[in-house]
């Protein structure tokens, strides 16, 4: 039975996102949910670093943006036949860049790490503006074609994104439950102990950083195909901030929390944006409520009153004794 | 490029630096005393500007507007500290929650400003007394820029006097060193924290008001200034008051001369400076301790 309980969130995940297609609420909403799917991969990938390893990166937009720009530029240069390959290349590019940025940023801790990641992302954002011939400047890249298989009707691209994201999510899920995932978890709670155990904190953090960047890059590449256009704002700091928001609102201590966070953020923007242009106010209020009242996020509510689950108690005992 | 242009550019850089210093010193004070990175500091810059704008619509007097704007920004700051920030001190992963909460205040305050005063550009004219320009040697400098530099220097002097020569100032410095011990010695630490937050946000408001006649007033101005101020604080060292001054001078001049020599890369240059400092000396130029490194 334990097996089934473990897979329950996955069942919900599949039922919800495939069920949407059966209900068929119209092109607009399918497009919207496709965005939720892509953002959720971005947020879950980010949460490997944030909720699991305890590193508050404020520059994840960089990797998201690199994925989007590499995919977009390759499609523009060679045509859309190998779209999937381009997404993988974009993610690989993000991972490649993240390796070097990780080497430098992970030497620092706490707020210094956060600021340095922010600086690198802002630097890249500034450069995409200036390198007009290469990146299209503030126009971004428009009319990114999709391969023939995925054109016509948003449903096809929805399914494509869903499959890609589901595979990536499964890999991330396995990573989090692997021994390596436990090491990351312990790095957050007690890095010294990891050193005592003869493991290298820096190397493991770097691995987590690169993995997280890779999947953020996949999300960026998928987004480039969804809207068919990319712009430098994808690299700007509010995009990095959104990753933190989604992970926290949903619950950074859980695997599926960021998916819920992505849904809430996109939903608020859509629903409130329909009535007024002041939707960021509503997001601010939601974040404030979450920070003050539900610091464990929406999925963490059930564990509020000190009811830590068994696994958490065990790790705490191990780490703090 | 002749000598006069260089001097003029240098002085314009100084005035930019002083504005940055007013924002960044508030940020760094808050970080030192409250251990909070106030990401929403730019929003107080914004509030100060719009309060002044409102007052000028009513009374048409820059100085009344300035006074009310500064006090208003400070009061809003204190209310936010007492009602919200105070609740998350000392929590697990406090840093992330501070970032989120202050980020939430950016979203809220910026939207409220947009709601009340509208998204369009506003202008605040220079006060009549500070129109025109001064001759320094053979260089012509706008009077208003000199005024900003003088105000900045006065704030530096006053802060130096307050922090090093008065008992209250010593308490502020003590609370940044050891909050608990200061509390045990009978000082009302929460009060000091609230007042520090109020003074710091008021300084942010002052910067916004002083900058308003030079730039256009828009609801996005706060977000623009916060990133630059953040760079200043990082370069100088978190919580280091004199570091903020040095950082502001460096960034002010880099911005000013960057526009002259490399207009394409001026905005990027500040990030490059920050990255170099963080890699070479992560704790900031003027901080001695080896903090933040592994």
Tell me, what's the pLDDT at A310?
A: 55
Calculate the alpha carbon distances from B266 to A280, B167, B253, B262 in Å: 30, 43, 11, 6
Is beta strand B139-142 parallel, antiparallel or unpaired with respect to B133-136?
antiparallel
The values of phi and psi at residue A76, to 5°, are: -60, -35
Which of B126, B106, B156, B10 lies closest to B62, judged by CA? Answer: B126
Least confident segment among A53-57, B142-146, B174-178? B174-178
For residue B191, the Cα-to-chain-centroid distance in whole angstroms is 22
Report the C-alpha gap between A66 and A235 in whole angstroms. 8
pLDDT at A150 over 80: no
Tell me, what's the pLDDT at A304?
A: 46
Residue range B54-61: mean pLDDT, rounded: 87
Using one digit for the tens of pLDDT, what is the confidence trace for A131-141? 777 777 777 78
How is domain A2-320 classified at the CATH fold level?
Answer: ABC transporter involved in vitamin B12 uptake, BtuC (1.10.3470)
Which residues fall within 8 angstroms of residue B97, CB to CB, at 6 or more apart? A291, A295, B88, B91
pLDDT at B289 over 60: yes
Report the C-alpha gap between B104 and B88 in whole angstroms. 14
B27 and B156 Cβ atoms separated by less than 8 Å: no
The minimum CA-CA distance between B294 and chain A, rounded to whole Å, is 6
Least confident segment among A44-53, A254-263, B109-118, B212-221? B212-221
The minimum CA-CA distance between B243 and chain A, rounded to whole Å, is 15
What tokens does B138 get? 């053979």
Higher pLDDT among residues B212 and B92, named by residue: B212
Using one digit for the tens of pLDDT, what is the confidence trace for A52-73? 998 999 999 999 999 999 998 9
Higher pLDDT among residues B264 and B187, named by residue: B187
Q: Given an 8 Å threshold on Cβ–Cβ distance, is A104 in contact with B279? A: yes
Q: Which residues of A touch B38 (CB under 8 A)?
A: none
User: Packing angle between helix B221-236 and helix B3-34, nearest 10 degrees?
Assistant: 80
pLDDT band at B109 (very low <50, low <70, confident <90, very high): very high
Using one digit for the tens of pLDDT, what is the confidence trace for A185-234? 999 888 888 889 899 999 999 999 999 999 999 999 999 888 888 888 88
What tokens does A313 get? 């108690």
Residue of A nearest to B262 (CA): A130
Q: Is B293 helix (H, G, I), strand (E, B) or coil?
A: strand
Q: Which residues of A touch B96 (CB under 8 A)?
A: 50, 56, 244, 248, 252
Q: Is A142 helix (H, G, I), strand (E, B) or coil?
A: coil
pLDDT at A320 over 60: no
Residue range B229-244: mean pLDDT, rounded: 88
Place of tokens 């060193």: B177
pTM for the whole structure: 0.87
Nearest CB neighbour to A119, from listed B99, B115, B275? B275
Calculate the alpha carbon distances from A302 to A251, A270, A314 in Å: 11, 27, 19
pLDDT at B50 over 50: yes
Tell me, what's the pLDDT at B87?
A: 86
Tell me, what's the pLDDT at B290?
A: 60
Calculate the alpha carbon distances from B112 to A139, A270, A310 in Å: 29, 19, 44
Tell me, what's the pLDDT at A321?
A: 40
Report the C-alpha gap between A117 and B99 in whole angstroms. 14
pLDDT at B162 over 80: yes
Interface of A with B in 92-151 (CB under 8 A): 104, 106-116, 118-120, 122-123, 126-127, 129-130
Q: State the average pLDDT for chain A.
A: 85
What tokens does A317 get? 């005992």
Q: Which residues of A touch B28 (CB under 8 A)?
A: none
pLDDT at B29 over 50: yes
Residue range A93-106: mean pLDDT, rounded: 93
For residue B94, the Cα-to-chain-centroid distance in whole angstroms is 23
Report the C-alpha gap between B286 and B234 in whole angstroms. 10
In this complex, is the C-beta atom of A304 within 8 Å of any C-beta atom belonging to chain B? no
B271 and A119 Cβ atoms separated by less than 8 Å: yes
* H helix runs in A197-278, sequence order: 201-227, 237-250, 257-275
Higher pLDDT among residues B207 and A126, named by residue: B207
Report the C-alpha gap between B239 and A233 in whole angstroms. 31
Q: Given an 8 Å threshold on Cβ–Cβ distance, is B95 in contact with A110? A: yes
pLDDT at A315 over 80: no
Tell me, what's the pLDDT at B232?
A: 92
In this complex, is the C-beta atom of B45 within 8 Å of any C-beta atom belonging to chain A? no
Task: Give the number of beta-carbon pairs within 8 Å between A and B.
Answer: 128
Q: Which residues of B touch A114 (CB under 8 A)?
A: 95, 99
Highest mean pLDDT (candidates B72-76, B88-92, B262-266): B72-76
Residue among B28, B94, B100 with most chain A CBs within 10 A, to mutate: B100
pLDDT band at B94 (very low <50, low <70, confident <90, very high): confident
- On the 0-12 / 13-18 / 19+ scale of CB atoms within 10 A, B10 is middle
Higher pLDDT among residues B172 and A207, named by residue: A207
Report the C-alpha gap between A270 and A33 in whole angstroms. 11
Beta strands in B109-216 (DSSP E): 133-136, 139-142
Q: Which residues of B touch A111 (CB under 8 A)?
A: 37, 95, 238, 292
What tokens does B294 get? 């592994």
Which of B113, B140, B142, B139 lies closest to B126, judged by CA? Answer: B142
Nearest CB neighbour to A126, from listed B99, B105, B268? B268
Estimate the share of chain B in helix, then strand, then coil, as percent rounded to the nearest 5. 75, 5, 20
Q: State the average pLDDT for chain B.
A: 87
pLDDT at A76 over 70: yes
* H helix runs in B178-240, sequence order: 179-184, 189-211, 221-236
Structural domain spans, chain A: 2-320
A258 and A247 Cβ atoms separated by less than 8 Å: yes
Tell me, what's the pLDDT at A202?
A: 92
In this complex, is the C-beta atom of B294 within 8 Å of any C-beta atom belonging to chain A? yes
Calculate the alpha carbon distances from B79 to B85, B103, B123, B141, B171 in Å: 10, 17, 28, 40, 22
pLDDT band at B18 (very low <50, low <70, confident <90, very high): very high
Tell me, what's the pLDDT at A305?
A: 46
Which residues fall within 8 angstroms of residue B15, CB to CB, at 6 or more apart? B145, B146, B148, B149, B152, B214, B252
Which of A35, A23, A2 lies closest to A263, judged by CA? Answer: A35
The span from the first CA to the last CA of chain B, in angstroms, equals: 46
Q: Which residues of B touch A123 (CB under 8 A)?
A: 268, 271-272, 275
A287 and A249 Cβ atoms separated by less than 8 Å: yes
Q: Given an 8 Å threshold on Cβ–Cβ distance, is A287 in contact with B103? A: yes
| ipTM confidence score | 0.84
pLDDT band at A313 (very low <50, low <70, confident <90, very high): low
DSSP 8-state assignment for residue B284: -
């Amino acid at each position: 039975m334990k097996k089934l309980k473990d897979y329950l969130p996955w069942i919900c995940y599949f039922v919800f996102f495939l069920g949407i297609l059966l209900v068929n609420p119209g092109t607009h909403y399918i497009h919207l949910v496709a965005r939720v799917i892509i953002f959720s991969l971005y947020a879950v990938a980010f949460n490997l670093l944030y909720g699991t390893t305890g590193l508050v990166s404020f520059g994840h937009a960089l990797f998201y943006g690199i994925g989007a720009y590499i995919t977009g530029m390759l499609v523009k240069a060679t045509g859309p036949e190998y779209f999937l390959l381009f997404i993988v290349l974009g993610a690989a590019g993000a991972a490649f860049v993240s390796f070097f940025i990780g080497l430098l940023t992970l030497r620092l801790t706490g707020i210094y790490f956060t600021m340095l990641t922010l600086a690198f992302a802002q630097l890249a954002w500034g450069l995409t503006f200036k390198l007009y011939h290469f990146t299209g400047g503030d126009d971004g890249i428009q009319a990114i074609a999709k391969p023939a298989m995925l054109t016509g009707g948003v449903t096809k691209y929805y399914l494509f994104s869903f499959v890609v994201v589901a595979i990536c999510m499964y890999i991330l899920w396995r990573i989090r439950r692997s021994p390596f995932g436990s090491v990351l978890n312990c790095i957050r709670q007690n890095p010294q102990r990891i050193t005592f155990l003869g493991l290298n904190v820096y190397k493991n953090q770097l691995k987590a950083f690169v993995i997280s960047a890779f999947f953020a890059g996949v999300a960026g590449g998928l987004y480039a195909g969804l809207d068919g256009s990319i712009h430098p704002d994808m690299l700007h700091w509010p995009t990095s901030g959104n990753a933190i928001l989604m992970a926290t609102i949903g619950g950074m201590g859980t695997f599926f929390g960021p998916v819920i966070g992505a849904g809430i953020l996109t939903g608020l923007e859509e629903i409130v944006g329909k009535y007024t242009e002041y939707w960021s106010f509503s997001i601010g209020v939601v974040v404030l409520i979450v920070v003050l009242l539900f610091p464990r996020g929406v999925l963490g509510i059930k564990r509020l009153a000190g009811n830590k689950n068994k696994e958490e108690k065990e790790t705490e005992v191990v780490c703090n004794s | 490029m002749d000598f006069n242009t260089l001097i003029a550019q240098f002085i314009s850089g100084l005035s930019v630096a002083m504005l940055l210093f007013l924002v960044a010193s508030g940020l760094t004070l808050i970080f030192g005393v409250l251990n909070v990175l106030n990401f929403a500091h730019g929003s107080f810059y914004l509030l100060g500007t719009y309060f002044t704008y409102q007052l000028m619509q009513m009374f048409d007097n820059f100085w009344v507007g300035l006074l009310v704007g500064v006090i208003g920004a400070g009061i809003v700051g204190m209310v936010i500290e007492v009602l919200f920030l105070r609740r998350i001190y000392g929590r697990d992963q406090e840093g992330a929650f501070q970032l989120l909460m202050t980020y939430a205040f950016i979203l809220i305050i910026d939207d409220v400003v947009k709601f009340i005063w509208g998204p369009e550009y506003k202008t605040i004219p220079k006060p009549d007394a500070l129109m025109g320009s001064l001759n320094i040697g053979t260089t012509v400098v706008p009077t208003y820029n000199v005024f900003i530099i003088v105000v900045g220097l006065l704030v530096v002097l006053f802060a130096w006097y307050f922090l090093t020569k008065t008992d209250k100032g010593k308490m502020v410095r003590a609370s940044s060193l050891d909050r608990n011990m200061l509390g045990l010695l009978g000082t009302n630490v929460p009060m000091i924290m609230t007042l520090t937050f109020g003074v710091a946000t008021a300084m942010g408001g002052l910067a916004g008001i002083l900058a308003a006649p030079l730039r256009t007033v828009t609801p996005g101005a706060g977000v623009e200034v916060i990133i630059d101020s953040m760079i200043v604080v990082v370069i100088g060292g978190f919580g280091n008051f004199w570091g903020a001054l040095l950082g502001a001078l460096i960034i002010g001049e880099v911005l000013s001369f960057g526009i002259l020599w490399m207009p394409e890369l001026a905005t990027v240059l500040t990030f490059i400076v920050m990255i170099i400092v963080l890699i070479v000396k992560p704790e900031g130029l003027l901080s001695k301790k080896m903090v933040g490194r592994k």
